[in-house]
Structures are given as structure tokens and as C-alpha cells.
Amino acid sequence: MISIGIIANPASGKDIRRIVSHATVIDNYEKVNIVERIILGAQGCGVDEVYIMADTFQIGNRVIDNLIASKELKANIKLIDIKLNGNVSDTINTAKIMEDMKIGCIVALGGDGTNRAIAKSIDKTPLISISTGTNNVYPDMMEGTAAGMAAAVVAANKFDICHTYLRDKRIEVFRNGIFTDIALIDAVICKDLYVGSKAIWNVEDIIKVIVSRAHPASIGFSSLIGCMMTIKESDDYGASVDLNCLGKTVIVPIAAGIMKKVNTCNLTRLNLNEEYYYKAAGRGIIAVDGEREVPFKEGDEFIFKITRNGPYHVDVKKTLEIAQENGFFIISGEEVY
């Protein structure tokens, strides 16, 4: 049986950045639509079983009802049975169950935070990430049908496609010698202790930024480095920079439609597995992939380390190209070239 998992975060794309910037809002009805297209693309390419995360909006139930009503459902769809908490733990717990079930591929709908939550639980399961917003770096904007097709190709495991997905980097955060959290894209040290909406957006409160990748086209805090240097997913290094200090003044896309002039200094390349030390001079909080998660007090000591312990991130286009080259989509007749 060929199986895939789908994790659609009903809370993604709705944080404070939709109020303070011009970021896109993708509502949950559109997420239902995207999940339907993922399933139709996947079952058309041979997927027998689809496992969907249960959630407070009941995305999975709505999808099942819609596809049964339209008489398009062929695959067996099951909801992952978890106790719903209505927060990030639902994503973390579901991803762990899918990893334990050895599901062939997970398709995620959400932002950097959603994928970070999934990355906490998976080690071997390949991941396809669909962006549901405009402030995201890790997931890609893509058509759900193509994502479903690629998930089917990966899950079918019919030929060697290992070079179509990359073991991603992640930033590992240690507080006072104890492993505390991870970030897939950026870790931001901030002097603003108030957690509030979780999402961080006030540049004036930022002390330091550490990134695993950076590009000027990436919207958000990684652009603070991305507008000075490019760091690709395949590069075995990241970087850090200090903010609100004397050095270079950089214009950056800090949020969708929001360009900011920021004073920076001490841009430093961080090699893979290199330990970067920071000692807190006062109280504050660390935001991982844009969300405040790790509070600290004066004297706390942190180590940040960029590793290759992130998820196996599927390149959808390359996967579909390899499938095509190997005749995956030919179901009858002779090959013609």
C-alpha cells in the first residue's frame, strides 16, 4: 500500500504580520481546497491511503465530505486520532505518529513555524512543504495537484530519487548547556520579553539574527542577512549579524510590503556544526522561525549550532522530472520520443 500524510495547519497565515504588513491571508476554506487537490493528484498517481491531521476546523472531515459528494474519492482517507489541543502540539504529535507509521511522504500546508513543528518529530520521512502565506522562506508556493503527484512518486519508492530531496539544515538552540529548541530558517535574539501574539515583527527590539539560509528575495528576518549575502540550502554554513549597531545600514523586506532601513554590524559566517556563543546581558526572548519561544534572563548562556539534522525536503519539480524520465506517468501504449 502506498501512503502519504497531510498536515494542514488551520492557524497558519493569520498572525499579527497580517495586521502590521500587507501579507496574504489564506483562509481555511482554501486550505480545504488545496488538500482536495493534493489527494486527487496523489490518488491519480497510485496512492492508496491518505492520513490527515485532525484539527479544530475539521479540514480533513470537510475534504472527505466534499470528495465523496463529488464522487472523486478513490483512496482510503483516515484522520490521525489525537487529542486536540488547538495549538502547535497537534502538529508535533501528528508528525510523530506519521513518522512511526513509516508513511511514504508528508505534505505540509503552513509556514516556517508549521514546518519547524513537523521537523521536531520527523527524521526519515520526506517532506513536501506548501506555503500558505507570504512571509515564508522554508515552504514553497505550489499547486496542490503537483505536490500530491510528487508525494505519490516519493512514496511509491519505485526508483532511486534520493537526489531529489536534500537533508536540510537547522539551527539548534542550547540554553545553559541543555538542548532547548530548533529553527529551520532563523533564530532571532530579542530584548522584548512579551510573548503576546508569538510572531515577532519589531526590528528595533532585535539584538542578533542567526540564519541557516538567506536571500534578498526571502521576506522576513533572514533578509537582514540575505540583503548582504546569499546562503543556499546546499551551502554547509549559515551566518549571524548584530542589529541596531554602528556598521552597514541595509534596506530589507522585513515583511510583505514593508521595507525597513536597519543598522547592522558584525556579519559573521557560521560553518556547519560550529558553536556560536551568546551570553544574555539582560532579559529577553528568542524567536525561532519568527515565533517567540525561548525566554531568557540576564546571565543565561546560549549556544547556536547549524547542523544537517533537518528534514528531507523534497524538490517537487525534480521529483516529477525524474518520474517522467522513468516512464512513471505512462500507463499504456508504447513510448514515443
User: pLDDT tens-digit profile of 240-279?
Assistant: 999 999 999 999 999 889 999 999 999 999 999 999 999 9
**pLDDT (tens digit per residue) in 82-108:** 999 999 999 999 999 999 999 999 999
The cell for 85 is 489541543
Note whether 3-168+311-325 and 170-307 share their fold: no
Does residue 202 have a pLDDT over 70? Answer: yes
State the chain's mean pLDDT as an integer. 93
**CATH superfamily entry for domain 3-168+311-325:** Probable inorganic polyphosphate/atp-NAD kinase; domain 1 (3.40.50.10330)
pLDDT tens profile 16-60: 555 555 666 788 999 999 999 999 999 999 999 999 999 999 999
Q: What is the dihedral of CA 63, 68, 73, 79, to 10 degrees?
A: 40
Alpha carbon distance 294, 120 (integer Å) = 15
- The answer to whether 270 and 239 have CB atoms below 8 angstroms apart is yes
Q: Which letter does DSSP use for residue 204 in this model?
A: G
Q: Tell me the DSSP string of 300-329.
A: -EEEEEEES-S-EEE-HHHHHHHHHHTTTT
**What are the pLDDT digits (tens) for 170-200?**
999 999 999 999 999 999 999 976 655 556 6
Query: Contact at 8 Å (CB) between 181 and 171?
Result: no
pLDDT of 337: 46
Strand 106-110: give its sheet, edge to edge.
76-80, 49-53, 3-8, 106-110, 126-131, 312-314, 165-167
- Nine-digit cell string for 86: 488547538
The arrangement of secondary structure in 170-307, i.e. its CATH architecture, is Sandwich (2.60)
Place of cell 486527487: 40
Check if the beta carbon of residue 251 is closer than 8 Å to that of residue 261: yes
Say which amino acid occupies 198: K
Rounded CA-CA distance 306/75 in Å is 40
Identify the pLDDT of residue 333. 76
Q: What's CA 265's distance to the chain center, in Å? A: 28
So where are the chain's domains? 3-168+311-325, 170-307
